[in-house]
Structure 1
Amino acid sequence: MKKLLKNIGPSTLIAAAFIGPGTISVCSLAGINFGYDLLWALVFSIVATMVLQEMSARLGLVTSKDLASVIRIYFSSTWKKLLALSLVILAIVFGNAAYEAGNITGAVLGLDAVFQVAEFSFLNQNINILPILIGFVSILVLALGSYKKIEKVLMLLVVLMSLSFVISALLIAPNWLDILQSIFVPRFPETSLTSILAIVGTTVVPYNLFLHSAIVQEKWKSVSSIKHARWDIFIAIGLGGLVSVCVVIAGAALHTSEITTQDFSSLALSLAPLYGDYATYLLGFGFFAAGITSSITAALAAAYVLKSALNWQGKSGKIYFKLVWILIVLAGVLFSSLNIQPLQLIQTAQISNAIVLPFAAIFLYITVNNSQWMGKYKNNALQKILGLLILLFAVFLGAKSLFFFFL
């Protein structure tokens, strides 16, 4: 057990990334609008995340390269390489900047629900100090420099966040038989398609495919560590999935209620009669932890993608790497301070997800099926079948997301 816990790490960052304000908002609304009926879609998205992240981790350990580097090397044609890398850079970097604003806003909503911090006036402008504080904490954690130190901070926050949402769900005393049935028996309530797409879209995060293939190389140096990486994925992403399930359960307690998570304070106050005044503190801290952990990982992922895509090396590469995550966090603070509704920011970022997820997943799938790249560690028959099913759904998700946005 001690050895197992010692090898937990990279997937904690992945869990921290997808359990953000967007996921909590989507899962809350899924529970509020459809009860337990969409739990099957959530479980499917968690399994899909595990399958794709395992491929990403395996790619990093076998090739000693991350996904962005592989894309840069894979294409021999200059124009194809530029097109592929431009798509990745635009979608990941600008998408993460939009996510960062949603993440920081989510963390602010969590703190504000508990402490109700008043705004102050400066040059005839009302300024909320919380986005600046959240941004400062995110930069402080990233400035630790050591991957292992960042990993430990995020592990602590993810565990505390998980406890917050699990306790919230248990206090409601839900119907466990209905929950199990909803997990294993797919249901498609009327008007639920958008919510199903949103659940999968906020769980299977494309920038995690790039991030995971990079950070496993900092945790482990040998291809024999694939078994550790798989346990890490199963435990950390499983825990993240449990958090999402608990959020749906908490939302289901308000089934048929007219409430939106755009006003998180209202959500906490509405849940309070169900299991006491602790709702505000439990959910407030959970939302804060979700926002700040995702703000750290989104900035880190953007920096890794640019570093690999543009092949930054040496001392200057380290400077550019730091500059990217600083700018991403500052962009998040700026847009969060403009009082834009967090769901609007998150929905904007999901459009970039819709574009890049099929591309990243297809390229990852092709690479890990390739004997030349992966040798004996290429996908086996079961992994090929599961991967193909997930790819088809990713393409469907992307097409539907773009359809809903433009039409």
Structure 2
Amino acid sequence: MSDSVSSSKGSKGSEGGKGRAGDGGAVPELGRPALRKASWKYVGPGIVVAATGVGAGDLVATLIAGSQFGYTLLWAAVIGCVVKISLAEATGRWHLATGKTLFEGWRSLGQWTTVYFGVYVVVWGFVYGATAMSSSALPLAALMPNGPDMKFWAVLCGLLGLAFVWFNRYAVFEKFMTVVIGLKFLVVVYVAIRVAPDLGNAVKGLVPTLPDGSLFYTLGLIGGVGGTITMAAYGYWVNSKGWTDTSWMKVMRLDNRVAYLTTGVFVVAMLIIGAELLHSSGVALGKGDKGLIDLGGVLEDKFGPVTAKLFLIGFFATSFGALIGVWHGVSLMFADFVERFQRERRTGQPVVGMVEEVAAGKREKSLPFRAYLLWLTFPPIGLLFLDQPFGLVVVYGVLGAFFMPFLALTLVWLLNSGRTPAEWRNGWLSNVMLALGGLLFVVLCVKQVVDLFTK
């Protein structure tokens, strides 16, 4: 029986509520697990994505968009969340529908993907490690101005992240990230309510318009908030949760929507803060993560020290949550990359079906996983005490700029080919969203590369 025929029959029985184990219905077809009912009690990997994907840099970008253009670009933030829902859903669908990890899919597209990912993950991890540690240290230094300097806090955050991921497994990691997301959510929404949003203007901001000079802010807002490589890590977290086959497809889709609805709340809340607190008063913020320290000062002047300190705590939760998420998720990807490469060299044959090893937690105990954890932590500490070399920054920026187009366009390729069972290939909506996302990321990639070489 062909894939398309058998898939369609298995899906029908599941969707109708029949053939589900323990429900007293008909026995499902062999090899075609019945779809589980989507339930809030399963939600988890999406929470991890939301806690990891929205870092301090994303909050600054949204804040600046609100400070410069008010509520006008609110529609772009909403579209950005829809684009990221499509990308993450495609990643999770690949893992569940094929029983293969995303890197295995990339590997099937040719040797060039292995070369690109290998270079990218090494250079990106080196520079990102220093960036994540510095970002986590900023709010701690601001909360304790008479305490140790920022480099001390940065090194401490890196070491704490290393120890936490090294000694814990996915279940504990997920619980920790749930606490992080709750703290971020409460603080950011609380501050947005305190600044008294103009609901009338907010509703008008849902109508697409482009003020003068806003084109690249708009594209950046659509494409930049909600994760880069963590989008690819989502499939690995899905497997770490124990979801390894198509019976979890409905659950994964609910989980993914929760992730990006939560992300949407963060983005809208920060845009409100930028529009109400900064746009009307013309307050300018510093560049990068320091802009959030500046915002803490503005909040203290307007609402007092308690609100300012709460915001700095939320800033720390945002930055440290992103650090922990990358330390875990990208290390899983790197471990898959190395294990597969080693086995292929040893056997001379392609290696298939490694999602079960991810689900069993074997990757989290592996030497490559822990080696990448050390790479994210110790070499970047040197960058904290040195100005980042220009050449390294350029390579990091170029590789990073190319990652999202690479992810979007390879997902279109994989999910429209015979590598994916017919039932789970892209429909027209998924193709449109992934293609538009890929095009958007290509435009942003070109702009970022041009900016790197013209500054």
TM norm structure 1: 0.87
1:188 aligns with 2:214: no
Does the C-alpha gap of structure 1 residues 195 and 321 become closer, same or farther in structure 2, counting only changes over 3 Å? same
1:318 aligns with 2:366: yes
For structure 1, the residue ranges without an aligned partner over 5 or more in a row are: 76-80, 121-126
Which residue matches 1:88? Answer: 117
For each residue in 1:157-208, what CA deviation from the matched residue of structure 2 results, as whole angstroms up to 9, or x when unmatched? Answer: 11111111010101111101211221x2123223223323432343253312
Change over 3 Å in CA distance of 1:119–1:393 after alignment to 2? same
Larger deviation, residues 308-317 vs 206-215: 308-317
Are 2:293 and 1:254 aligned? no
Aligned partner of 2:248 among 225, 233, 256: 225
Instruction: Write the deviation string for residues 51-100 of structure 1: whole angstroms up to 9, x where unpaired.
Output: 0000000001111222112111332xxxxx0x221212222342243233
The amino acid across from 2:218 in the alignment is I
Which residue type is aligned with residue 56 of structure 1? T
Residue 66 in structure 1 maps to residue 101 in structure 2: yes
What one-letter code is carried by the residue in structure 2 that aligns with 1:352?
L
The aligned counterpart of 1:106 is 135
**Structure label with greater radius of gyration:** 2
Tell me how far apart the structure 2 counterparts of residues 18 and 376 of structure 1 sit (CA, whole Å).
Answer: 29
Asked whether the equivalents of residues 58 and 226 of structure 2 are also in contact (C-alpha less than 8 Å), the reply is no
2-structure distance, mates of 1:5, 1:331:
40
Moved more, 22-31 or 96-105: 96-105
Root-mean-square deviation over aligned CA pairs: 2.6
Report the structure, 1 or 2, having the larger helix content. Answer: 1
> What one-letter code is carried by the residue in structure 2 that aligns with 1:203?
V
Aligned residues: 389
Q: Which residue in the other structure is 1:123 paired with?
A: none
Tell me what 2:145 maps to: 116
Structure 2 unaligned spans of 5+:
1-36, 344-356
Distance 2:219 2:236 in 1: 28
Q: SS of 1:373's equivalent?
A: coil
Deviation at 1:346, TM superposition (A): 9.4
Quick check: 270-279 or 285-294, which moved more? 270-279
Partner SS state of residue 143, structure 1 = helix
Q: Out of 36, 41, 54, which is 1:19 matched to? A: 54
**More moved, 223-232 vs 312-321:** 312-321
Is 1:328 matched with 2:376?
yes
Q: Would you say the 8 A contact 1:53–1:209 is kept in 2?
A: yes
1:201-248 CA distance string (max 9 Å, x none): 432533123211222112213311111111111112211221122112
Which digits, 9 at most, give the CA deviation of each residue in 1:272-305, with x for residues without a partner? Answer: 2333333321220111011111112222333233
Q: 1:236 to 1:205 in 2, by over 3 A?
A: closer
1:359-392: CA deviations, max 9, x gaps? 2211111111224423211111222222222222
Confirm or deny: 8 A CA contact 2:43 2:255 kept in the other structure: yes
Q: Which residue of 1 aligns with 2:70?
A: 35
Task: State whether residues 157 and 289 of structure 1, in contact with CA within 8 Å, keep that contact through their aligned partners in structure 2.
Answer: yes
Secondary structure of 2:167 counterpart: coil
Q: Contact 1:34 / 1:189 at 8 angstroms: preserved in 2?
A: yes
Contact kept, 8 Å, 2:237 with 2:329, in 1: the verdict is no
The aligned runs of 1:164-203 (5 Å cut-off) are 164-182=187-205, 184-203=206-225
Contact residue 205 and residue 357 of structure 1 kept, 8 A:
no
Deviation at 1:327, TM superposition (A): 1.5
Relative distance call for 1:155 and 1:401 in structure 2 (3 A) is same
Residue 172 of structure 2 corresponds to residue 149 of structure 1: yes
Q: What percentage of aligned pairs have identical amino acids?
A: 24
Seen in structure 2, the aligned counterparts of structure 1 residues 214 and 265 have a Cα distance that, compared at 3 Å, is: closer
1:261 to partner: Cα distance:
4.9
Amino acid at match of 1:53: A
Query: Counterpart in 2 of 1:367?
Result: 414
- Look up the equivalent residue of 1:384 and give its one-letter code: N
- The 8 Å contact of residues 121 and 334 in structure 2, kept in 1 or not, is answered as no
Question: Which of 51, 62, 81 is equivalent to 1:46?
Answer: 81
Q: 1:137 to 1:26 in 2, by over 3 A?
A: same
Q: Which amino acid aligns with 2:440?
A: F
Change (3 A) 1:170 1:357: same
Alignment partners' CA distance in 2, 1:186 and 1:169: 22
| Of 27, 40, 45, the match for 1:10 | 45
Q: Which residue of 2 aligns with 1:393?
A: 440
For 1:46 and 1:346, how far apart are their aligned partners in 2? Answer: 28
Change (3 A) 1:59 1:117: farther
Amino acid at match of 2:371: L
Change (3 A) 1:206 1:269: closer
Q: How far off its partner does 1:339 sit?
A: 7.4
Q: 1:244 is matched with which residue?
A: 267
The Cα of 1:107 is off from its aligned counterpart by 1.5
Are the equivalent residues in 2 in contact too, given 1:57–1:213 (CA < 8 A)?
yes
Cα 1:373/1:71, change in 2 over 3 Å: same
Q: Equivalent residue of 2:43, what SS?
A: coil
* Change in CA separation of 1:331 and 1:350 when aligned onto 2, cut-off 3 Å: same
